């Protein structure tokens, strides 16, 4: 979400290496009533802190948990 894109058509300086913000900085709003679930919606207008907080709320369903506890793995490569 940050980059430094420019041509060096001026004398070299430390400013040449400063990052430019590509996305607008989104202010954080309170998350509200959000609890653990197997699916947590993340709208595009959420700030980075809220996205990280919501990512910790994702939980497997009971069926997914039973499948994971079986320890079965398959891998096919062509």
Q: Which pLDDT tens digits describe the chain residue by residue (78 residues)? A: 555 566 667 777 776 667 666 666 778 888 888 888 988 888 888 888 888 899 899 999 999 999 889 988 788 888
Q: What is the pLDDT of residue 3?
A: 57
- Answer whether 16's CB lies under 8 Å from 8's CB: yes
Q: Report the alpha-carbon angle 60-64-66, nearest 5.
A: 115
pTM over 0.75? The answer is no
| Calpha distance 36→41 (Å, rounded) | 11
Closest residue by Cα to residue 25 from 45, 41, 6: 45
- Answer whether 28's CB lies under 8 Å from 49's CB: yes
């Amino acid at each position: 979400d940050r980059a430094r894109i420019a041509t060096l058509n001026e004398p070299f300086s430390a400013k040449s290496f400063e990052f430019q913000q590509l996305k607008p900085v989104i202010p954080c709003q309170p998350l509200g009533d959000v609890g653990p679930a197997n699916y947590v919606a993340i709208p595009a207008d959420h700030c980075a802190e809220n996205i990280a907080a919501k990512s910790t709320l994702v939980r497997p369903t009971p069926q997914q948990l039973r499948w994971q506890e079986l320890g079965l793995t398959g891998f096919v490569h062509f």
